[in-house]
Amino acid sequence: MPDLFPDDRARLPLDPGAVLLGGFALPVDRVLLQLITHTAEAAPFRHLETPGGRRMSVAMTNVGQLGWVSDRRGYRYSPVDPLTGRPWPAMPPAFTTLATEAAAAAGFANFAPEACLINRYASGAKLSLHQDRDERNLDQPIVSVSLGVDARFLWGGQSRTDRPRRIALHHGDVVVWGGPARLTFHGVDTLGESSHPLTGSLRYNLTFRIAT
Ligand SMILES: O=C(O)CCC(=O)C(=O)O
Ligand SMILES: [Mn+2]
């Protein structure tokens, strides 16, 4: 989708504590995608069940000491992949480096993520408006990397009923939110039918967190 002022996307403040770093991950895009493919061989993408019993349209897997999971019992972080019974694959150093550098560029020094949720969106998948609040330490930011097909990020407010802004997320974009923006409601609009040279019809998102 076209941007009105493409030059402003290199650093687009969304709110105090939240910034979009346009194209920040582009230099390592192929490396990231290879590592995602590699991860999925050990910890396959799967559609988790919500506590309410619905199948999530986004497929997920994790790397790191902890992985985000959802089932009838609720949302939580688990050191073990419930699908395989094994620990999640280790966080690749290239992931950690990118997350730490993006956080620093957004003003959050020394971010050392423990968990990386990998989301895979096919056409029609979406992520409803939510807060990332399963982490114990809310002083630490969230770092979110977009790869592949363009999406529309829903960026809301501190209350679920605040009307969200729609912000274009392109391949290589990174969004960081912390401090006063840490609990901002956000989501991803239904992915359209589109194609990207590196991912085909898919969009991937890496979400780095400190969970403990
Ligand atoms: O896919 C995205 O851009 C956002 C993902 C997200 O909010 C999450 O995984 O909690
Ligand atoms: Mn989220």
Pairing of strands 127-130, 186-188: antiparallel
CA of 195 to the centre of ligand 2 (A): 24
User: What confidence score (pLDDT) does residue 2 get?
Assistant: 57
Which atom of ligand 1 has the smallest separation from the CA of 132? 10
Model pTM score: 0.96
Tell me if 184 CB under 6 Å of ligand 1: no
Q: Is the pLDDT of residue 6 over 70?
A: no
Kindly report, residue by residue over 70-104, the tens digit of the pLDDT: 999 999 999 999 999 999 999 999 999 999 999 99
CA of 169 to the centre of ligand 1 (A): 11
Kindly report, residue by residue over 23-56, the tens digit of the pLDDT: 999 999 999 999 999 999 999 999 999 999 999 9
Which atom of ligand 1 has the smallest separation from the CA of 58? 1
Tell me if 117 CB under 6 Å of ligand 1: yes
CA of 20 to the centre of ligand 1 (A): 14
CB atoms within 10 A of CB 161: 8
Which residue out of 21, 186, 203 has the highest number of ligand 1 atoms within 8 Å of its CB and is therefore the one to mutate?
A: 186
Radius of gyration of the chain (CA): 16
User: What confidence score (pLDDT) does residue 5 get?
Assistant: 56
Tell me if 127 CB under 6 Å of ligand 1: yes
Greater confidence, 79 or 4?
Answer: 79
User: What confidence score (pLDDT) does residue 96 get?
Assistant: 98
The ligand whose atoms approach the alpha carbon of 205 most closely is 1
Terminal Cα distance for the chain, rounded: 37
Tell me if 188 CB under 6 Å of ligand 1: yes
